[in-house]
Amino acid sequence: MNWLFRYANPHEFMRLSGAVLPFTAVATVLCLVLALYLGFTAPPDYQQGRTVLILFIHVPAATSAMMVYGAIAVCSLLSLVWRHPLSDTAARAAAPLGVIFTVLGLVTGSLWGRPMWGTYWAWDPRLTSFLLLLFLYFGYMALWNAIEDETKAARAAAVLALVGAVNIPIIKFSVNWWNTLHQGESIVTGDLAPVFLAPLLLMMAGYVLLFVTLWMVRIRTAILERRATVLMQRGAQ
Amino acid sequence: MNFDMSPYGAYIWPAYGISALALAGLTSWSWIRWRRAKAKLAALEQRK
């Protein structure tokens, strides 16, 4: 674990993230542009027609939303076990990103559901558990803002994040465990034609890289804001 | 590239539009906050 603590040091994190950021930013743009090009040149699906284009933005948003929550849960665990303040900063910085990905997963899924299922929304296990993810994000952020003492807020938010992590496998396996309107797994099973798989995987890579880039920017911002607060407190004394 | 979405344009374009707006907004917001924090800290350090 020594390597982790080395980079979890705010000073080391600023140095390392400053060096990595330009590369992740460029890689994000390249992946997104190439995915859009391949997506818009892909033929219509024999069943879904051109609505298959929504696949290329719905799946990346939904998987990113779950991945971000997973990242928050891991940081929360690190914070609770090793009490490292940067873990709390990282977890808190990721939450608004997770909210946006979750909302995009819900909105794009709804816009895909209307022409394919005949409805924007159904109280189906996959959709409902995914909506619960949005409420978990809101709860997590609300808890941070509700408790004034930052150490106590971090502790409470970390516990909530870990309890809520139970929802991630429920979302993932809901299509296997229950009868649902939502289609099952098609990437791992190899059911997706390569002409659709390539733009989808590239877009997923683009979304993950975008998250990594923005997460680093937001952690860096939080570190600078903390330094500014310390300076202001010293100035006031 | 094929931009003909018929008959599903009413669903596909809003899905792409909302995603593009949200991700661009998120990027801009994060960037603006970073620039502000950097400027504030620089001003405080100069005052020291």
Q: Is B48 on the interface with A (CB under 8 A)?
A: yes
Q: List, as ranges, residues 20-79 from A with C-beta within 8 Å of B.
A: 37, 40-41, 49-51, 53-54, 57-58, 61
DSSP chain A: -HHHHHHTSHHHHHHHHHHHHHHHHHHHHHHHHHHHHHHHHSPPBTTTBTTHHHHHHHHHHHHHHHHHHHHHHHHHHHHHHH--HHHHHHHHHHHHHHHHHHHHHHHHHHHHHHHHHS-S----HHHHHHHHHHHHHHHHHHHHHH-SSHHHHHHHHHHHHHHHTTHHHHHHHHHHHS--SS----TTTT-S-HHHHHHHHHHHHHHHHHHHHHHHHHHHHHHHHHHHHHHHHHHH-
Domain membership of residue A152 (yes or no) is yes
- Cβ distance B3 to A40 less than 8 Å, yes or no, reads yes
pLDDT (0 to 100) of residue A122: 93
pLDDT value for A185: 75
Residue A6 lies in a domain: no
Structural domains in chain A (count): 1
Mean per-residue pLDDT for B2-12? 90
Q: What is the pLDDT of residue A89?
A: 95
Evaluate whether residue A113 is within a structural domain: yes
**Is residue A86 assigned to a domain?**
yes
B45 touches chain A (CB under 8 A): yes
Whether A3 maps to a domain, the answer reads no
Minimal CA separation from B37 to chain A, in Å = 6
Whether residue A8 lies inside any domain: the answer is no
pLDDT of A7 reads 63
Looking at residue A179, its pLDDT comes to 78
What ipTM did this prediction achieve? 0.94
Instruction: Give the mean model confidence (pLDDT) for residues B8-33.
Output: 97
Chain A residues touching residue B45 (CB < 8 angstroms): 231
Residue A228 lies in a domain: yes
Render pLDDT for A57-83 as a digit per residue (tens, 0 to 9): 999 999 999 999 999 999 999 999 988
Q: What domain range is A212 assigned to?
A: 13-236
Q: Report residues of chain A scoring pLDDT below 70.
A: 1-8, 237
pLDDT of residue B1: 83
* Lowest-pLDDT range of A8-17, A186-195, B1-10, B18-27: A186-195
From the list B12, B19, B22, which residue is nearest A51 (CB)?
A: B12
What's the pLDDT at A3? 61
Q: Smallest Cβ distance to A214: which of B5, B15, B27?
A: B27
In a domain, A193, yes or no: yes
